Amino acid sequence: MFDLSFAEIVVIAVVALVVLGPERLPKAARFAGLWVRRARAQWQSVRSELERELAAEELKRNIDQARSGMRGFDETARQEATRLREDLRDTVAGDRAPAAADQEPAAPSAPSEAATTPTDRSDAPADAPRR
């Protein structure tokens, strides 16, 4: 704050001693010390109050950012849910189409156990010829 060297402090003390005298100098020094302590305490109070206000403002800003991010996510999630519901409805409606109901059921793609020959099965002898 103030840049006072030791020499400057000695000069101030000598001038105070000459002006105030040895009887009033201790009272004046206590009075000056009291006011310096009060000023420092007041400055610390203002500084801490300012820091609290800045921290509260930053916290409010962070909360607002989080809320706006959550709103954006909520909108996106709702849109995606709506789109998925519509896709599901379209898929279910496509499966129940009248043209699909008129068709015959398809034959099973896997051969049945009775239709397999011993050469097609894994338990057939290794030396048996394959067809």
Q: Is 38 a domain residue? A: yes
- Residue 105: per-residue pLDDT: 54
- Residue 22: per-residue pLDDT: 87
Q: Is 100:90 a contact under the CB 8 Å cutoff? A: no
Number of domains forming the structure of the chain? 1
Q: Where are the alpha helices (DSSP H) in the chain?
A: 6-95, 98-102
- Give the chain's largest Cα–Cα span: 131
Question: pTM for this structure?
Answer: 0.43
For residue range 80-103, what is the model confidence (pLDDT) as tens digits?
Answer: 999 999 999 988 887 775 554 455
Q: Which domain holds residue 64?
A: 6-93
Q: Is 117 a domain residue? A: no
**34, amino acid identity:** L
The token pair at 77 is: 């999630």
Q: Is 68 a domain residue? A: yes
Closest alpha carbon to 118 in 109, 105, 127: 127
For residue range 19-50, what is the model confidence (pLDDT) as tens digits?
Answer: 988 898 889 889 989 999 999 999 999 999 99
